[in-house]
Every structure is written in C-alpha cells, then in structure tokens.
C-alpha cells in the first residue's frame, strides 16, 4: 500500500483502474449528451439568471406604459389610463429639464397613477417592491384627471435619495426639494425671507452641517437647506452641484475644505452672497405658526420619517397621501390648502385611534372572560352545595307555613 494512501481509497484496495468506480459512475453517458446538457443549462442561465438591464415588471390589475426614464402604471378605464400619453410627455419633460443635467447613473422611476386613495392603500406595496437596483420607486400620485396632481417633488426627492443615499440632510433634503422647486417654478428663497420677516432666525450654515444639529434646527433648517442648495445650483449649475453633493456625502467635518476645493470659493464668501440673495426676495405674508405646523406635518412623514413604514399603520395610507399632496402647497406657501390636508390626516389618525381603542377593549373583554370565567365556575361549583341546601330549607319552611 502506498504510504500516503488511506484505506478507503481505490489505491488502498488494490484497484489499478485509471478511472475508479466512484469516478466512472459520474461520467456515464454518451459524449453527445454532455454538450447538449451544457447548452441547455447555458440557455436557462441567459434567460433567467442575468438581469443586466431594467426590465418591465407586471403588477396585477395594472398596465405598464414605459418611457425612456419612467415606468408609468395605470388602471384601464381610469383617468390615468386616459391621459397616460400626456403624463408621459410631462414626466419626460421634467426629467429632461431637471434630472438629466445632473448626470446621474441611469435609472427607471416607477410612477403609478392611482385612481383612488383606496387603490393607493391596497396596491402601493407592489410598486415599492420594484424599487431596487436601477429601478427607483417614486411613489406616484393619486390622479383624477387634474394635471396639477403630477407634482415633481416625489420624483426629485426619490432620484436624489437614490443617487446620494449617504449625503447629510443639508445636502440630500435640500437638493431634492430645490430641484422640485425648479421644476414647479417656485422661489426657493421665499420661505427664509418669510421666516426672517416674521421674526424667526435663519441658522448659520456651519451650525446645521451635522445631522444631529440639522435636526435640532428644524423646522428652520429645512427651508434653509432648500434655499442654500437652490442658490448653489443658480451659481454653479446642476452638474457641479451634483458633483459636490457626491464629493461631500457624509463628510460634513471637511465641508469647508471640500467646498473651496470644488468651487474655488470659500464658504464665508458664498454664504454672504446667498444671504444677500435671500434679503433681496420680497417677503411674503405668512402666519409663522401655521407655517411651522405645516412644515412639521410634511417633513416628519416624508423626510425625517419613513413613508413606507408609516403606510403599515392603520392611518398610514391617508396620512401619506395627504402629505404628498401637501408638499407642493407648502412650497408655494398655500397654507390654507395645506391646513385642509392636515385636517384630513388628523381625522384619519383620530379614526384609527378609535378603532385601536375598540380593538383594545374587545381584547381586554375576551381576556377577562377567559381568565375570570373558569374562576367564577370554580367558585360556583364549590358554593353550589351550600346554596342548594339553603334553598331546600327555604322550601321546607314554606311548606310548614
């Protein structure tokens, strides 16, 4: 026996075959069958195993209308299906004017046209599951035939969040909203001017770089970020602004150095010019308390919060739908219209709370019945002989009378 052979190997048992039995058993078959098997496996691999590009995905009950940059879904026989060609043209125009100059990696934006809030509540998760890889879930809209329902903000927010997922809130939130303002024709500096004219304080740029500091500066930090990014785009253009957001990402501690390196200008010089631009804006008449309440209503759900997680709550579909509808109203400082959205969301939350309370009371009643029922039966079983004797004595006494 060879010195390095184990007892269970073919060499240790005296086999001199160049192909032992445990090898020949695995290569049986004619030579012509093996290439055919390999060819079939290759076809299966090419057909289903290598999704190298964006592919349209079917959603039950919906029809896909695909463009160069959007996957638009509509339900047959609804206003969305009727106006889908115009919607396709409007969305592609938005992309061409606002998103294409950013030179972002190619992606498809999923944009369903929900015919009703009930359909939004029922089917939103189908489209959320499409959002992976080079497909981005842009939430869509509840479309009833009014072109004003095609708001750009969910699109620009989704595109920026997908392209710069690790960017600090100052850059990510501000950039997405400022792009939406540009598409909607909204003055991004009017909010800061309204806050300053109403006695509010505009935070310094360096004081809101860290995510925690940005959160502490809310709600003023939110319009500050939008105004800052809008002025950055006006001063240096969309490609350079997008490059700066990608350069900084989460490295807020190097913000000054990276800003000077990228734009060849100091942060102090830029901030002075930016504040001059804000001061030159005509101050709109705004109720500061109503503005703060509306701003919190928007950013707590769609920016600081997670809309997908909120959708899982009983009031989620109504709240998220009203918030998305109210974003453009807030940006246009239409606070009266925003109050209507807030009231609808509050009514949905109150109804959900009442439903949860009823459920809680019902469960408590069932629990008490399950716990107290056996106890009461046991007590009754123990007391029943005494009660029966007492009743018998009463009957006997009544008979004697």
244-253, 308-317, 385-394: the lowest-pLDDT one = 385-394
Q: Supply 321's token pair.
A: 């739908």
What band does 37 get if pLDDT is binned at 50, 70 and 90? Answer: low
pLDDT tens, position by position, 320-362? 999 999 999 999 999 999 999 999 998 988 887 777 777 777 7
What band does 54 get if pLDDT is binned at 50, 70 and 90? Answer: very low
Q: Are the CB atoms for 342 and 293 separated by under 8 Å?
A: yes
Name the nearest CA neighbour of 171 among 228, 213, 231, 95: 228
Chain position carrying tokens 């020949």: 24
pLDDT tens, position by position, 303-327? 777 888 889 888 889 999 999 999 9
What band does 31 get if pLDDT is binned at 50, 70 and 90? Answer: very low
The pLDDT of residue 18: 44
The pLDDT of residue 176: 94
More confident residue, 288 or 362: 288
Q: How many whole angstroms separate alpha carbon 220 and alpha carbon 32?
A: 74
The pLDDT of residue 42: 54
Name the nearest CA neighbour of 174 among 243, 245, 237: 245
pLDDT tens, position by position, 68-89? 999 999 999 999 999 999 999 9
What band does 260 get if pLDDT is binned at 50, 70 and 90? Answer: very high
Which residues face 238 on adjacent strands? none
pLDDT of residue 41 exceeding 50, the answer is yes
Q: Are the CB atoms for 267 and 260 separated by under 8 Å?
A: yes
The pLDDT of residue 62: 96
pLDDT tens, position by position, 163-215? 999 999 999 999 999 999 999 999 999 999 998 888 888 899 999 999 999 98
DSSP codes of every residue in 203-253: PPGGGG-SHHHHHHTTTTHHHHHHHHHHHHHHHH-HHHHHHHHHHHTT-GG
Name the nearest CA neighbour of 225 among 183, 189, 265: 189
pLDDT of residue 32 exceeding 80, the answer is no
Name the nearest CA neighbour of 228 among 162, 220, 154: 220
More confident residue, 48 or 277: 277
Write the DSSP symbol of residue 68: S
Task: For residue 97, give every residue at least 6 positions away whose Cβ sits within 8 Å of its Cβ, in sequence order, or none.
Answer: 182, 183
pLDDT of residue 16 exceeding 50, the answer is no
What band does 52 get if pLDDT is binned at 50, 70 and 90? Answer: very low
Q: What angle do CA 342, 347, 352 make, to 5 degrees?
A: 125
More confident residue, 278 or 389: 278
Chain position carrying tokens 């300053």: 196
pLDDT of residue 23 exceeding 60, the answer is no
Classify residue 179 as exposed, middle or buried by CB count within 10 Å of its CB (0-12, 13-18, 19+): buried
The pLDDT of residue 44: 55
Q: Supply 285's token pair.
A: 């008449």
Q: Supply 127's token pair.
A: 């489209």
Instruction: Tell how strand 70-74 and strand 63-66 pair up.
Output: antiparallel
Task: For residue 339, give every residue at least 6 positions away whose Cβ sits within 8 Å of its Cβ, in sequence order, or none.
Answer: 290, 294
Q: Are the CB atoms for 136 and 155 separated by under 8 Å?
A: no
Element (H, E) at 90: helix 84-94
pLDDT tens, position by position, 77-120? 999 999 999 999 999 999 999 999 999 888 999 999 999 999 99
Helix, strand, coil share of the chain (percent; to 5)? 65, 5, 30
Most confident of 44-58, 118-132, 241-255: 241-255
Chain position carrying tokens 């001017």: 193
pLDDT of residue 296 exceeding 60, the answer is yes
pLDDT tens, position by position, 142-156? 999 998 899 999 999
For CA atoms 323, 326, 332, 334, give the dihedral sign: negative
Mean pLDDT of the chain: 84
- Report the pLDDT averaged over residues 381-385: 81
Q: Supply 237's token pair.
A: 């253009």
148-152, 290-294, 367-371: the lowest-pLDDT one = 367-371
Q: What is the dihedral of CA 133, 139, 143, 147, to 10 degrees?
A: -80
- pTM value is 0.76
Q: How many whole angstroms separate alpha carbon 21 and alpha carbon 299?
A: 70
Q: Supply 269's token pair.
A: 């010089």
Q: How many whole angstroms separate alpha carbon 261 and alpha carbon 244?
A: 10
Q: How many whole angstroms separate alpha carbon 268 and alpha carbon 274?
A: 10
pLDDT of residue 240 exceeding 90, the answer is yes
Q: Are the CB atoms for 210 and 217 separated by under 8 Å?
A: no
Q: Supply 246's token pair.
A: 């990608």
């Amino acid at each position: 026996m060879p010195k390095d052979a184990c007892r269970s190997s073919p060499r240790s048992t005296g086999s001199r075959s160049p192909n032992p039995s445990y090898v020949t058993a695995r290569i049986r078959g004619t030579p012509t069958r093996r290439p055919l098997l390999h060819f079939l496996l290759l076809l299966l691999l090419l057909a289903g195993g290598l999704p190298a590009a964006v592919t349209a995905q079917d959603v039950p009950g919906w029809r896909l209308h695909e463009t160069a940059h959007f996957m638009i879904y509509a339900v047959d026989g609804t206003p969305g299906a009727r106006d889908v060609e115009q919607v396709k043209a409007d969305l592609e125009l938005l992309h061409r004017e606002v998103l294409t100059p950013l030179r972002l990696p190619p992606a498809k934006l999923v944009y369903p046209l929900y015919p009703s809030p009930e359909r939004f509540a029922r089917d939103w998760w189908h489209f959320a599951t499409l959002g992976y890889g080079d497909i981005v879930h842009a939430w869509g809209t509840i479309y009833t035939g009014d072109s004003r329902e095609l708001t750009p903000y969910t699109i620009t927010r989704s595109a920026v969040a997908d392209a710069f997922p690790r960017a600090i809130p100052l850059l990510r939130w501000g950039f997405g909203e400022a792009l939406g303002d540009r598409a909607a024709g909204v003055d991004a500096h009017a909010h800061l001017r309204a806050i300053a004219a109403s006695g509010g304080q505009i935070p310094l740029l360096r004081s809101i770089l860290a995510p925690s500091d940005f959160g502490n500066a809310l709600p003023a930090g939110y319009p500050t970020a939008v105004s800052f990014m809008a002025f950055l785009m006006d001063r240096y253009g969309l490609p350079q602004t997008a490059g700066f957001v990608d350069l900084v990402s989460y490295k807020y501690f190097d913000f000054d150095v990276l800003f000077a390196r990228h734009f060849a200008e100091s942060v102090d010089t830029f901030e002075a010019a930016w504040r001059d631009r804000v001061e030159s804006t005509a101050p709109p008449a705004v109720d500061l308390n109503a503005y703060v309440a509306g701003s919190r209503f928007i950013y707590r759900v769609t920016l600081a919060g997670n809309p997908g997680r909120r959708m899982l709550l009983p009031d989620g579909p109504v709240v998220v739908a009203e918030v998305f509808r109210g974003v453009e109203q807030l940006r246009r400082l239409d606070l009266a219209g925003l109050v209507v959205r807030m009231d609808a969301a509050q009514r949905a939350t109150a109804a959900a709370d009442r439903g949860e309370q009823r459920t809680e009371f019902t469960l408590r009643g069932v629990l008490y019945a399950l716990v107290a029922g056996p106890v009461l039966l046991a007590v009754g079983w123990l007391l029943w002989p005494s009660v029966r004797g007492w009743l018998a004595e009463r009957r006997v006494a009544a008979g004697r009378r």
